[in-house]
C-alpha cells in the first residue's frame, strides 16, 4: 500500500489537523469532527450545514466559508457522520434564522441527518433540508434508495449559500437549493478503482484496458463496463445520457470533475470534448468549472454535471465566495 499516511486509524484526524493549520479562518474540532467558519454564527443569515464520509475532498470541508457552507461534518472514510456531529454543527452556526441541511442521497447520510434535524429542532433550531440526487447513471445503488448525490452537491451548496449570504429567509434558501438539485444531472466514469486506507487494496476489480460507465463516488457499480474509450467517446456517452434525462431549456453550468487521480491536463482535454458535444447538441453554456471537487480518494476518472440556470441562479453562482477550495469575487 503506497499512501501518504501514518496509520489508517488516524487518516481523518490527521487530515483535519492539517486543514486547521492551513486555514485559520476555520474552526476545526478534530475530536468532535466538526468544521465551522470562524465568524459563525452570522447574524441574520441562514446557516448551511453539510457533510458525509471523508475521501471526497474538498467536499465538504473545503467548501466552508463565506458564500457557501457554514459548517461541515466529516465522517470516517466513505462513512456517514453521526447525528451528534450534525446537531452540534447546527447549534454552532445557527443565528436564529435557521439551518439548512444539504444531504447527499445515501442511506446513512439521509437517516443520520434526519435524526440530527430532530435533535436540532428539540433545541429550538428551525431546520430545512435539501436532498441531492443528481446522478442519472442508475436508479438504485449499493448505498441508496433512488439516485445518488454527486457533483450537483457543489452547485446546491454554492448557490444556496449565496442566497443565504444575501439574507434570504430559510424557506427561500431551501426552495432555491431544491430548484438547483431539480435542474442538475451528473454522470461519472471510472478508469481505475479507488483504495481505502483501511482495506489497502482496490475496492473493486477493473481489469486493464476497461472502464466503468456510471460509477458512484464510493466505487459502486455503474451501468456497464466497456473496453477503454477515447476522451471524445466518453464525453459523447456521458453528455448524451444526461441530456436524455434532462433536455435543457436554458443555459447550463458545467462541472467537469476529477475523481481524485486524473491530472488537470486530462480534465481540460476532456472539458474540450464536453464543450464540443454541448455545441453539437445546441446547448448554451453559461459557466464552466474544471477540477477535483467531488472525489473518490485515488480513483482515476471523471464526472460531468450540468445544471440549468435562469438569471437568478446564475447571479447566485457568480456571487462572491471564499472557501479553501472555491473562491472568487472577494
Residue numbers annotated as active site? 56, 218
Separation CA 110–CA 90 (nearest Å): 16
CB contact set of 82 (below 8 Å; sequence gap of 6+) = 75, 112
Amino acid at each position: 500500500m503506497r499512501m501518504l499516511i501514518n496509520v489508517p486509524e488516524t487518516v481523518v484526524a490527521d487530515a483535519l489537523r492539517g486543514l486547521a493549520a492551513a486555514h485559520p479562518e476555520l474552526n476545526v474540532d478534530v475530536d468532535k469532527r466538526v468544521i465551522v467558519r470562524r465568524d459563525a454564527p452570522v447574524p441574520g443569515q441562514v446557516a448551511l450545514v453539510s457533510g458525509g464520509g471523508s475521501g471526497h475532498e474538498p467536499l465538504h470541508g473545503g467548501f466552508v466559508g463565506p458564500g457557501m457552507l457554514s459548517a461541515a461534518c466529516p465522517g470516517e472514510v466513505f462513512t456517514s457522520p453521526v447525528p451528534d456531529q450534525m446537531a452540534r454543527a447546527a447549534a454552532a452556526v445557527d443565528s436564529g434564522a435557521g439551518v439548512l441541511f444539504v444531504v447527499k442521497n445515501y442511506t446513512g447520510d439521509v437517516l443520520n441527518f434526519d435524526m440530527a434535524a430532530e435533535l436540532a429542532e428539540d433545541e429550538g433550531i428551525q431546520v430545512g433540508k435539501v436532498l441531492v440526487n443528481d446522478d442519472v447513471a442508475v436508479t438504485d445503488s449499493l448505498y441508496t434508495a433512488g439516485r445518488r448525490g454527486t457533483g450537483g452537491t457543489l452547485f446546491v451548496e454554492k448557490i444556496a449559500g449565496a442566497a443565504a449570504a444575501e439574507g434570504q429567509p430559510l424557506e427561500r434558501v431551501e426552495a432555491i437549493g431544491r430548484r438547483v438539485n431539480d435542474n442538475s444531472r451528473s454522470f461519472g466514469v471510472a478508469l481505475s478503482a479507488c483504495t481505502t486506507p483501511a482495506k489497502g487494496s482496490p475496492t473493486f476489480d477493473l481489469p486493464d484496458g476497461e472502464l466503468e460507465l456510471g460509477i458512484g463516488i464510493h466505487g459502486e457499480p455503474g451501468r456497464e463496463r466497456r473496453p477503454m474509450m477515447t476522451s471524445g467517446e466518453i464525453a459523447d456517452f456521458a453528455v448524451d445520457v444526461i441530456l436524455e434525462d434532462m433536455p435543457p431549456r436554458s443555459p447550463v453550468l458545467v462541472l467537469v470533475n476529477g475523481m481524485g487521480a486524473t491530472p488537470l491536463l486530462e480534465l481540460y482535454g476532456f472539458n474540450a470534448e464536453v464543450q464540443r458535444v454541448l455545441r453539437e447538441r445546441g446547448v448554451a453554456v453559461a459557466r464552466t468549472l474544471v477540477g477535483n471537487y467531488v472525489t473518490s480518494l485515488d480513483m482515476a476518472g471523471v464526472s460531468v454535471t450540468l445544471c440549468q440556470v435562469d438569471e437568478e441562479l446564475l447571479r447566485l453562482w457568480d456571487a462572491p465566495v471564499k472557501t479553501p477550495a472555491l473562491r472568487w469575487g472577494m
